[in-house]
Chains A and B, each alone.
Chain A
Amino acid sequence: DAGVTQSPTHLIKTRGQHVTLRCSPISGHKSVSWYQQVLGQGPQFIFQYYEKEERGRGNFPDRFSARQFPNYSSELNVNALLLGDSALYLCASSLSGANVLTFGAGSRLTVL
């Protein structure tokens, strides 16, 4: 069975640009969560979606947005990129928003 897949795996952007990160959950999982992991730190919660509705939002600016599609895949969008947005962005899926998350390998964003 395919796990959580994320794309792209690596990308480089410049300040002020926009980025879209994509995530496909495990088949049958209806909840997707996004986390930001800055180098040397633990993940920070950004969003959780369940059944295409936002169920939770972390302490991130409005430049960060996300959505979940009818097939339960998800996109994370970040506008007006800052140097501090450089991080590993992790997507995790779960059956129903419950606690056990399965993570993808992440998308590593570098902002120059």
Chain B
Amino acid sequence: AQSVTQLGSHVSVSEGALVLLRCNYSSSVPPYLFWYVQYPNQGLQLLLKYTSAATLVKGINGFEAEFKKSETSFHLTKPSAHMSDAAEYFCAVSSNAGNNRKLIWGLGTSLAVNP
């Protein structure tokens, strides 16, 4: 069985500060890992994905994440926060085998960016 734990339901940073959103996963098979962002009253937008290629993955809007198998982690970072980054962020895991590749989601982390 697969699961995702996002540490910290709410994170607050100052504009220009480092953003670090934590995600740990559990998977009995090699995982695919994703970060999605959800702005208020909108659907989910893919930020980046790990699919067993490079362990450091670069996404949109300056975000990146590093897959660390030994730590079962896939933390999301951005060097300098912008006000527009305020949103809900979700980490998700899926198996990389089989036809039914449903995503298992974390509970989300709400990011607030203070001026």
- Chain A residues within 8 Å of B, Cβ to Cβ: 4, 33, 35, 40-45, 48, 50, 55-56, 58, 90, 92, 97-106
**B108 with A98: CB separation less than 8 A:** no
Other 14 A-B pairs with CB < 8 A, given A43-B44, A55-B100, A104-B43? A33-B102, A42-B106, A44-B105, A45-B103, A48-B102, A50-B99, A56-B102, A90-B44, A97-B100, A98-B101, A99-B32, A100-B46, A102-B46, A105-B43
CB distance from A23 to the nearest CB of B (A): 11
Interface size class of B (residues with CB under 8 A): 20 to 34
B33 nearest CB neighbor, chain A only:
A99
**B103 with A99: CB separation less than 8 A:** yes
Interchain CA distance A98-B100 in the complex, whole Å: 8
- Chain B residues within 8 Å of A, Cβ to Cβ: 4, 32, 34, 36, 41-46, 49, 51, 90, 92, 94, 96, 99-108
B34 nearest CB neighbor, chain A only:
A99
Interchain CA distance A43-B94 in the complex, whole Å: 13
